Amino acid sequence: MRLDKYLSDACIISRTRAVSAIRSGRVSVDGKTATKGDMKINENKAAVTLDGKPLSYSEFIYILMNKPAGVVSATDDLREKTVLSLLPENYATKGLFPAGRLDKDTVGLLVLTNDGKNAHRLLSPKHHVEKEYYVECDGDFEEGDIEVCLKGVTLDGELTKPCILKIDPQNKNCARMILTEGKYHEIKRICGYLGKKVTFLERVRFGALVLDPSLSRGQWRHMTNDEIALLDRKEC
């Protein structure tokens, strides 16, 4: 791999800035100051530093975001603010997209990545990754709703896959709902079928990855390799 590409990917900076950092002598490879952006390195073995700080390379970016309300989970939108606009400008050229959609008013766990193949696989209906939501409604859930959700409900002629409903015994208008698919507005439409309107919706888990409580709404961070692996586990 070319050194300028390595630096651009590892530091999430443009190629131009990467070349400029190399030309200014700020980058070293295996202990020697590098001078040329087109220098070839082995990204898995080379010890690369920028301003003396060691860098590590990963092919893809994975971001964990606590999505706030009021932004859409899309890469671009003519009218609405997108989740990508919450990231610094230098992330704009990295090909990131949200892995799955949350409605504009839904908050919580959202993964952004540029690993298209893996995201596509994880989101495929065949993969059955569990997605868990905390739901508040304008009316109480009833015990009978549990069975209805499990059997599936018909929405616009399509039967939903079994949905696990766990009603909060203290606040019966609040519940956890676990889906293994992602139909359009699925939680809101299931609750609508049950005669209730969703007043608050938060995704709290994707596969075995749970929302990081230290991230406040709108905050994000890079995911660790262990967390990326957790996405692959279908359940908690």
Q: Please list the active-site residues.
A: 103
Name the residues that contact ligand URA, by CB under 6 A. 102-103, 106, 185-188, 201
> Residue 112 half-sphere exposure, CB side, CA atoms within 13 Å?
26
Closer to ligand URA by CB, 34 or 86: give it: 86
| Residue 183 CB, nearest approach to ligand URA (Å) | 8
Task: Using the minimum distance from each CB to ligand URA, give the nearer residue, 39 or 69.
Answer: 69
CB of 182 to ligand URA, least distance (A): 7
| Closest distance to ligand URA from the beta carbon of 79 (Å) | 18
Query: Based on CB atoms, which residue is closest to ligand URA, 76 or 105?
Result: 105
- Strand order across the 32-33 sheet: 32-33, 27-29, 48-50, 53-54
Q: Report the alpha-carbon distance of residue 82 to residue 32 in Å, rounded.
A: 42
Between 167 and 191, CB nearer to ligand URA: 191
C-alpha 130/C-alpha 111 separation (Å) is: 14
What is the spatial distance between Cα 12 and Cα 221, in angstroms, rounded to a whole number?
13
Q: How far is the CB of 70 from ligand URA (least distance, A)?
A: 13
**CB of 224 vs ligand URA, minimal distance in Å:** 25
Judged by beta carbon, residue 21 or residue 187, the one nearer ligand URA is: 187
